[in-house]
Amino acid sequence: MAASYFLVLLLFLSLGPHRALSAAGASPYLYPATFFKNYERMLTSFKIFIYTPNNPIAFTAPPASLFYDSLLRSRFVTADADEAHLFFVPFSPDASTRSLARLVRELRGNFPYWNRTLGADHFFVHPTGFDFTADRNVLELKKNSVQISVFPTTSGYFIPHKDVTLPPVSPRALTLPHAPPGEEPPSFLGYLRWDGETESVMVNELKLDDEFAVESQPSDDLGGGGGVQSSKFCLFLYGADVAWLPAAMASGCVPVIIVDRPIQDLPLMDVLRWSEMAILVGSTRGAAGLKELLRGVKEEDYERMRGLCVAAAQHFLWNAEAKPYDAFHMLIYQLWLRRHTIRYARREM
């Protein structure tokens, strides 16, 4: 395949993300000129204060559990609340509206920090996110504090200007393509991993088309020359299984997200140029319309998207011990971008 893909891939492997992407002249970042400089500033200056929970917190499923555990062990945590940029409010994902209201009342009454911003410099983790409520305290938490939830979120549970989603956990360790692209042309135009449960007219049409590979009982193994590595595009039904998105990107399979409404909760949206790496398409197009759209992608555009996907996939890695530029640090970076808030003067009563 294309020389541009080889350039990004080889430079990334040999030089690392900073030098490789600047040398290649292609970047997956929204603001490449400032990203690395700001990232280094974050490492040395960003401080987070964690309120002590009343009860033990049990995030049982990744990626929420990975983020929570990594945060507790990180260098960003400070015991001095006065030097903190943001405040983490830990609570159980099973907490009721009543218990959340009581928690915010305690923060409001026992600490000076919530009232300075009405919670705008606070954040919390809730895997599914939650909807608006009539309770004043929970409403402030929902409207003002940064919510970290799992991608994709339920419609209405995500506020784009402040909330962020966790990069999904790949079912296996990320690896780059085993064979250089271009030695073997892709066998399929598109590949879809489908749970076989949700009814979809488009999926039924794709199953009848020889240019698409639909795996209805997918395993966790994405290697070995399977559908990911033998397809130009990887298809994702928004709201279904997206755990294999990082592995698909790392393999150079360009994501196609099938969704019938605008979405603004893609992981790392503050950092990555998703419009240059993925295609969003509605299911009403049907299989024929989807095929027409994908066939119409120019080869040079496809090669560029593929190279950017490989480069960006490095930021979706979740490690047992956090490493530079991995998923944990990219989440922290998005929080760091939200550290500027208006702090109201506290009135003496």
pLDDT at 116: 93
pLDDT at 344: 66
Q: Which two tokens stand for residue 102?
A: 């009581």
Q: In this model, does residue 12 exceed pLDDT 50?
A: no
Per the CB < 8 A criterion, the answer to whether 201 and 344 are in contact is: no
Residue type, 256: V
What is the gyration radius of the CA atoms in the chain, in angstroms? 22
**Helix, strand, coil content of the chain in percent (nearest 5):** 40, 15, 50
Tokens 């919670």 belong to residue: 119
What is the spatial distance between Cα 224 and Cα 238, in angstroms, rounded to a whole number?
26
Choice between 172 and 316, residue whose per-residue pLDDT is larger:
316
Tokens 């929204």 belong to residue: 30
In this prediction, residues 279-299 reach a mean pLDDT of 95
Tens digits of per-residue pLDDT, 26-39?
Answer: 799 999 999 999 99
Report percent pLDDT > 90 for the chain: 68
Helix axes 32-45, 17-24, angle to 10 degrees: 170
pLDDT at 61: 81
Cis peptide bond N-terminal to 177, omega within 30: no
What is the spatial distance between Cα 305 and Cα 298, in angstroms, rounded to a whole number?
11
- pLDDT tier at 186, thresholds 50, 70, 90: confident
Report percent pLDDT > 70 for the chain: 83
pLDDT at 162: 95
Q: Which of the listed ranges 20-34, 164-178, 227-241 does the model predict with the highest average pLDDT?
A: 227-241
Per the CB < 8 A criterion, the answer to whether 277 and 301 are in contact is: no
Tokens 């692209």 belong to residue: 181
Tell me the whole-structure pTM to 2 decimals. 0.88
pLDDT at 95: 92
In this prediction, residues 215-222 reach a mean pLDDT of 66
Q: Among the listed ranges 72-81, 134-143, 185-194, 321-330, which one has the minimum average pLDDT value? A: 185-194
Give the helix ranges, DSSP H, for 59-123: 64-73, 97-110, 113-117
Tens digits of per-residue pLDDT, 122-154?
Answer: 999 999 999 888 899 999 999 999 999 999 998
